[in-house]
A = this chain, B = another copy of it.
Amino acid sequence: MVAPTGAKAPRWERRKDARPQELLAAALDLFVERGFAATRLEDVARRAGVSKGTLYLYYANKEELFKAVVRDSIVTAIGDAEDVVAGYEGESGELLRAILFGWWERVGGTKASGIVKLVMAEANNFPDLAAFYRKEVIVRGTRVLSSVLERGVARKEFRVADIETSTQVLIAPMLMLTLWKHSCGPCDQGDVDAERFLSNFAAMVLGGIQAD
């Protein structure tokens, strides 16, 4: 017999704590695979190994589940990026590279990037989701990048004419890279070497904006 106090976490309790993550993982898989409207909650539940009703213990409805997936997979990453920027002490070029590569590691290069494609495809049909996404992802994501540029300018490490435009220039190819990854089921194009693309891209951008 083992000492019953404290050490032994009951199997079931562990599952309970893990439930939300299991559900989010299953939902991410299916949302990415089928889109928002075509994903059936029963399938999400089954893939997570629970019943339909259980899903509703954790998420009030389909939209809330989707928001939770977005938060878990993207918003969190943006939050971390914000923290990195806030706490960074070094050179701004390094910081920009770190942010771009971090994004690829956490979002662009993972299943989460499928969410980006999904939103593009279905946002028209679900205005509430579009509003949520715009506020939590587009606005916040844009702000992080802008803040890095501003930091560089303030420290005289960057030289950019217009922060807003420059931010868009940074975002566009990232988006492209993401779409590329997800749009080639029916296109049948070869894969892009994302790492090399990112490296080249960072180099080009920094070449263009670094102060000297």
Contact = CB atoms under 8 A, between A and B. Distances in A.
Interface of A: 33-35, 37-38, 117-125, 130, 133-134, 138, 165, 168, 171-172, 175-176, 179-180, 182-183, 185-190
B189 A125 contact: no
Copies of this chain: 4
B186 A133 contact: yes
A120 B189 contact: no
Contacts of A130: 185-186
Contacts of A118: 121
A70 B81 CA distance: 42
Contact of A186 (B35, B138, B168, B176): B138
B188 A134 contact: yes
A190 B176 contact: no
A34 B187 contact: no
20 contacts: A35-B37, A35-B121, A37-B38, A38-B125, A117-B121, A118-B121, A120-B185, A121-B121, A121-B122, A123-B186, A124-B185, A130-B186, A133-B186, A134-B188, A138-B188, A168-B190, A171-B189, A175-B183, A175-B187, A176-B176
A51 to B, nearest CB: 14
Nearest to A185: B123
B117 A120 contact: yes
A182 B33 contact: no
A168 B189 contact: yes
Contacts of A125: 34-35, 38
A91 to B, nearest CB: 28
A53 to B, nearest CB: 13
Contacts of A182: 120
Nearest to A121: B121
Contacts of A165: 190
A121 B124 contact: no
A120 B183 contact: yes
